[in-house]
């Protein structure tokens, strides 16, 4: 069943609901949330999106006025949206060779538009999760890890 069908605009999921829906991807989800909250000392915000590309409830992290990432629960995994803006582009391209082939390919095929490369990263693997952490750290330097 689709996430947006389980939890409509009037039925906000709990974090426990999200973990249950993600299922086998939950350990990666929990690791990312823990990393972000420790490294950036920020709390998540759940929001509802009517965007046709990824409708439903999502989890956003923001540090000051800068978005760190947006997380979209999926059955068995999750998607992380990280925007690589013009300011981060050079550093990201220098680090690109350290990323998994999946993230490298995604970066190279994602066109720069609306102020950045909007990377929708399927997180179902620990190495991809590590790439997501690196991209977030390039976007906003962590206080501690």
At 82, the pLDDT band (50, 70, 90 cuts) reads: very high
* CATH domain 3-139 topology: 3.90.1150
How many Cβ atoms from other residues are within 10 Å of residue 66's Cβ? 12
Question: Full-prediction pTM beyond 0.85?
Answer: yes
Closest CA to 78 of 18, 143, 7, 12: 18
Does residue 52 register a pLDDT over 70? Answer: no
Quote the pLDDT of residue 145.
52
Domain ranges of the chain: 3-139
Closest CA to 106 of 78, 83, 137: 83
Average pLDDT of the segment spanning 111-138: 95
Q: What is the pLDDT of residue 83?
A: 95
Would you state the pLDDT for residue 73?
Answer: 95
Q: How remote is the C-alpha of 121 from its chain's centroid?
A: 7
Which of 85, 144, 78, 73 has its CA nearest to residue 114? 85
- Tell me what pLDDT residue 65 has: 87
pLDDT band at 41 (very low <50, low <70, confident <90, very high): very high
Distance CA 90, CA 81 (A): 19
Q: What is the mean predicted confidence (pLDDT) over 11-15?
A: 91
Read off the pLDDT of each residue in 71-89 and give the average, rounded to a whole number: 95
Residue 29 confidence (pLDDT) = 98
């Amino acid at each position: 069943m689709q996430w947006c069908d389980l939890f409509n605009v009037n039925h906000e999921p709990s974090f426990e609901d999200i973990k249950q829906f993600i299922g086998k991807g939950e350990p990666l989800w929990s690791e990312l949330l823990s990393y972000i909250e420790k490294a950036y000392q920020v709390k998540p915000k759940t929001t509802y999106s009517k965007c046709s590309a990824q409708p439903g409830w999502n989890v956003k992290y923001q540090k000051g006025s800068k978005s760190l990432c947006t997380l979209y629960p999926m059955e068995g995994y999750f998607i992380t949206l990280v925007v690589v803006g013009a300011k981060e582009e050079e550093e990201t391209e220098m680090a690109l060779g350290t990323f998994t082939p999946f993230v490298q390919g995604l970066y190279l095929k994602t066109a720069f538009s609306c102020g950045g490369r909007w990377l929708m990263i399927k997180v179902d693997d620990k190495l991809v999760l590590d790439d997501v952490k690196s991209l977030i750290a390039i976007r906003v330097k962590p206080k501690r890890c």
